[in-house]
Amino acid sequence: MSDGLSALKEAFKTVYAESGEPRICRAPGRVNLIGEHTDYNGLPVLPMTINREIRIAFAPRRDGLVRLHNMDAAYAPCGFENRADILHSAPGSWDNYCKAALQGLNGCLEVTDFPGMDLLVMGTIPPASGLSSSSAMVVASALAYLDCLGKPINGDLSRLDLAPLLARAERYVGTQGGGMDQAIILCGKAGRACKIDFFPLRIEEVPLPKACVVVLCDSMVKAEKTGAALHRYNEGPLSCRLIRAMVERQLERDLDEEVRLEHLGDLWSGWLCMTDEEVADLFDEVFPKPRTTIEEAAEFLGCTVGDIRERWLGDLAAPEDGFPLKARARHQVTERRRVEAARDALLAADSRALGELMLASHTSCAADYGISCPELDRLVEVALQCGALGARLTGAGFGGCTVNLVPAEILEGFCIGVTERYYDQYLGISAGVDIPRCVMPVEASPGAGPEGE
Ligand code: ADP
Ligand code: NG1
């Protein structure tokens, strides 16, 4: 057993002196190479796991109490009672991610005895940086709980079953996310990226470019989905629900029959099986102008503004000049095409083509989807100046990390160049910045599972 795992076990025995011998599970973070804000529409993504993770040492308890401690003092000890309806902690509390996993599994597995657990968490994924520390917490908590229930992963529940279940479960914290994070965290493979399709979940392993390194650069802008970034993130999935409803209505008019789209991605599959060009034309027809007000959407759908809020938008703030639905819809079409092309580029070992697609994706995320910020744009620009073949924001956006495709032979110069041009010159914070933590070459690690057995 590695020193880190032994240390975690020893720390567990100190914190929970009266508890049983702990077991350990691990869930890696992830970086998305391409395919941003497409998963919740059932459109593909292309992420890989990273060699940063959440580890949990755990032991079952006889009562229904779940106790949480963390090796990082920033996360204060806490606890809760396991039951059918687990009470939410305040937004931003770290125990909510554990609660999300238990609540989801309790419902799905029809648990009735609600066992407790002692947990000690150790994490190395920078939080709020677009690297899925939150989903790694959910997945690791779920694996610990399944073990305590006597139903370890790959028994009754396969990884392909668990991933969508935990994607739904994580909505407990208020995000309306898709299924990318939980799928790659559970199904990722060492040294490989995965193209992921949804509904049903399908994973295709693809090789990573041999002559390149994937490097993450932290913009130093925190994108906390436990805070302000939550509503900005949810604008994506919520406005796509409205796009789906309007497109569905247009198709019914065009085809003169009932059409049901579960997700926008259904346009490309099933009996509709439209091409990119047909979908782009349809979107142009439904969204002739850049912005659509909530009143215009209501008129188009033949319903009231109240109906729109109740069925699709919830309390999402409506800008006076309307939602940018045209550009958001366009991003879905172009990003879907880029993911397919990126998969082909990886299979053909064409790093240059992949780099160009990553850059085009960043431009679309910034201009059409509105999820970038000046710091991310600058960091992408700097990365290209320093020799990256491709660079883009990764994950939810609004801050966090960029992902960069860097030829292995220039790795050192790239790290120095980005440090000088972004952290020193642009942010002016070199004295306080911890470069190894900010510029991170990463490797794809194995998917989540038990450890040290
Ligand atoms: P991300 O993009 O990394 O998923 P979020 O803002 O969605 O960022 O979630 C970050 C939250 O995940 C943190 O505020 C914390 O509640 C939880 N979290 C992340 N890392 C840890 C950790 N090591 N221990 C406990 N909780 C963690
Ligand atoms: P991160 O970067 O982990 O917050 C979020 C969503 C994903 C996906 C990406 C954008 C959650 C848990 N994750 O990821 O489903 O939509 O944004 O591609 O909501």
Residue nearest to atom 16 of ligand 2 (CA): 37
Q: For residue 347, is it within any domain?
A: no
For residues 89 and 46, membership in a common domain is answered with yes
**Phi-psi group of 185: left, alpha or beta (phi > 0 → left; psi -120 to 50 → alpha; rest → beta):** alpha
Which residue in this structure is represented by tokens 């809020």? 309
pLDDT at 4 over 90: no
Ligand 2 pocket: which of 133, 135, 186, 362 to mutate (most atoms within 8 A of CB): 135
**Token representation of residue 3:** 């020193």
Picking from 30, 38, 35, the residue whose alpha carbon sits closest to that of residue 236 is 38
pLDDT of residue 340: 98
Q: What is each CA distance from 169 to 81, 261, 403, in whole angstroms?
A: 18, 23, 27
Ligand 1 pocket residue status of 323, Cβ below 6 Å: no
pLDDT at 129 over 70: yes
pLDDT at 197 over 80: yes
Is 218 strand, coil or helix?
Answer: strand
Ligand 1 pocket residue status of 134, Cβ below 6 Å: yes
- CATH number of the domain enclosing 90: 3.30.230.10
Residue nearest to atom 26 of ligand 1 (CA): 94
Q: For residue 387, is it within any domain?
A: no
% of the chain with per-residue pLDDT over 90 = 89
Q: For residue 233, is it within any domain?
A: yes
Examine the fold and report which residue of 328, 347, 364 is the final residue of a domain before the chain moves on: 328
Examine the fold and report which residue of 207, 235, 251 is the final residue of a domain before the chain moves on: 207
Give me ligand 1 centre to Cα 127, in Å: 5
For residues 19 and 91, membership in a common domain is answered with yes
Radius of gyration of the chain (CA): 22
What is the spatial distance between Cα 117 and Cα 145, in angstroms, rounded to a whole number?
8
What is the spatial distance between Cα 244 and Cα 239, in angstroms, rounded to a whole number?
9
**Phi-psi group of 370: left, alpha or beta (phi > 0 → left; psi -120 to 50 → alpha; rest → beta):** left
* Total domains present in the chain: 2
Examine the fold and report which residue of 286, 310, 328 is the final residue of a domain before the chain moves on: 328
For residues 202 and 232, membership in a common domain is answered with no
70-96 pLDDT, tens digit each: 999 999 999 999 999 999 999 889 999
Q: What's the mean per-residue pLDDT of the chain?
A: 95
pLDDT of residue 2: 78
For residues 37 and 176, membership in a common domain is answered with yes
Ligand 1 pocket residue status of 131, Cβ below 6 Å: yes
Give me ligand 2 centre to Cα 177, in Å: 6
Give me ligand 2 centre to Cα 395, in Å: 6
pLDDT of residue 315: 86
pLDDT mean over 303-332: 94
For residues 28 and 59, membership in a common domain is answered with yes
For residues 21 and 149, membership in a common domain is answered with yes
Catalytic residue (choose from 95, 181, 218, 266): 181
Residue 145: domain span: 3-207
Q: Identify the band that residue 67 occupies on the pLDDT scale cut at 50, 70 and 90.
A: very high
Q: Identify the band that residue 224 occupies on the pLDDT scale cut at 50, 70 and 90.
A: confident
Q: For residue 389, is it within any domain?
A: no
Q: For residue 346, is it within any domain?
A: no
Q: Is 424 part of the annotated catalytic residue set? A: no
Ligand 2 pocket: which of 233, 240, 263 to mutate (most atoms within 8 A of CB): 233
Give me ligand 1 centre to Cα 179, in Å: 17
pLDDT at 1 over 70: no
Q: Closest ligand 1 atom, CA of 222?
A: 6
For residues 258 and 171, membership in a common domain is answered with no
Ligand lying closest to the C-alpha of residue 168: 2
